[in-house]
Amino acid sequence: MATKGRPRPASAEADQGPSQDDIGVEARVVAGILLNAALEKRNGLDEALSQPAARALEPVDRAFARAVAMAALRRLGEIDQILDRRLKKSPPEAVRTLMRVALAQTLVLETPAFAAVSTAVKLAERDPKTRPYKNLVNAVLRGVGREGPGLTTAESNLPDWIAARWKATYGEAALAGLALAAREEPATDLSLKPGVDPAAVAAAVDGEVLTGGTVRTGRRGDVAGWPGFEDGDWWVQDAAAAVPGRLLNVKPSETALDMCAAPGGKTLQLAAAGATVVALDRSAPRLKRLTQNLERTGLTAEVVAVPAEDWEDARTFDAVLLDAPCTATGTFRRNPEVLRATKPAEVAKLADVQHRLLDAAAERVKPGGRLVYCTCSLEREEGETQIIAFLRRNPAFRTVAADPAAVGAPPEALTPEGWLRILPSMWAGHGGLDGFFAARLERVS
């Protein structure tokens, strides 16, 4: 179901500050800032949200601005197809941004057209750089409203180089499914502590219980106010992100190492299973969220802020989990900006990092112990290719075939080698899930 345009409260009196209409204009300005920041660099949207323009908005307006920017990112190719059919030549980027923001509202968020169009024209008139184009903005947007957007293709929302890669790797039918998944805003998934009733949590948050025990809900907003949060019954974790922790299959009294732990969902899984857990991550700020969730859930882990390959500690472990840094192209449902921010050269660069981390992880595994390697990337160089090369240079390790049903993964995710390759288009009837690669390896005693 599409998100409706932000409802407007009654107008404020003049002496109470700017009118609600003026606040709405500022929210749309920030939506354009967020959109451009996301297109310029990875994490640009989050950084822009912390800047003065966004922070000056009321929370409801800031949330609206973010929703508009995310909608524009998810449908950017289609929006540009619509615009390009009506433009004789490309206008300045600031003008295109105004029209992208307006069409994201009307075509995706179902904001009334008159509100989106009139605001876009007002914004064009306000800036000397865009003022000469205000009639163009008005004509194009009203034309779309009058004649309809016309046919668009979901594949256009994917950068050409990524679409070509995925078609070559997964086939044309899979590419079509991935493109459709990229359009959709995902639900929120919750992982539960042992002993917490999934059916009860699902009923409390108007959700459903997925294979593996994840609870999925269509609720939006601040999760801190949801039933069970204060009691520490659950934490937010995509259904696919919960699979590698289950694949590791730790037991009470075992020792476990989470090598790149932040933001910490997998550490919580290992601790909840009763293992003695060490969680490493190079980013102390990102570990704060893990520490807070450990306190809230009453779980324990040793948290160390250090690059995993530089950790000077002689301990080895029964179970090691390496969720390696990657391009994160499998998370495009939640983070549509990754498809625009990722460049081809990054795949090879990060593959080298993963190679080094895998070798470091192998040294931490006890004889007879196990290692799970995973990435939230859809690129083979960051998944299958890594494991093939690792097994060639580490004959002491062998693959242990995964059981999709036992770990809450789609059955079609199982590869011939016994690894898991989860695509966001799987479980389409239940809203999909993030893309992941995961392989379980065992060190021969």
194 annotated as belonging to a binding site for a ligand: no
Region of residue 207 (left: phi > 0; alpha: psi -120 to 50; beta: else): beta
User: Would you tell me the crossing angle of helices 93-103 and 134-147 to the nearest 10 degrees?
Assistant: 30
210 and 430 in contact (C-beta within 8 Å)? yes
Decide if 376 is catalytic: yes
Omega cis (within 30) before 263: yes
- Of 48, 76, 97, the residue nearest 339 (C-alpha): 76
- Has 298 been labeled as part of a binding site? no
Q: Which residues of 259-296 are buried (b: 16+ CB within 10 A; e: fewer)?
A: bbbbbbbbbbbbbbbebbbbbbbeeeeebeebeebbeb
Separation between Cα atoms, residue 83 and residue 233, nearest integer Å: 47
Residue 123: closest CA among 237, 28, 230: 28
323 annotated as ligand-binding:
yes
Amino acid at residue number 274: G
**Residue keyed to tokens 């660099």:** 41
Tokens, residue 212: 């593996």
Residues 6+ apart with CB under 8 A from 310: none
- Fill in the DSSP letter of residue 15: G
Q: What are the distances in angstroms from CA 384 to CA 171, 215, 232, 338?
A: 17, 29, 36, 21
User: Residues 376, 413, 414, 423: which is the catalytic one?
Assistant: 376
Q: Is 326 annotated as a binding residue?
A: no
Beta strand residue intervals within 253-342, DSSP E = 255-258, 276-281, 302-305, 317-323
Token pair 């790149």 is found at 260
264 annotated among ligand-binding-site residues:
yes
Q: Report the C-alpha gap between 338 and 331 in whole angstroms.
A: 8
Amino acid at 131: R
Contact between 417 and 368 (Cβ < 8 Å): no
Helix/strand/coil (H, E, C) string of 202-221? HHHCCEEECCCCCEEECCCC
Q: Positive or negative, the Cα torsion across 27, 32, 38, 44?
A: negative
Q: Do 327 and 349 form a contact (C-beta atoms < 8 A)?
A: no
Is 263 annotated for ligand binding?
A: yes
Is 439 annotated as ligand-binding?
Answer: no
Is residue 260 marked as binding?
A: yes
Question: Which segments are annotated as binding site?
Answer: 260-266, 281, 323
Residues that constitute the known binding site for S-adenosyl-L-methionine:
260-266, 281, 323
**Catalytic residue set:** 376
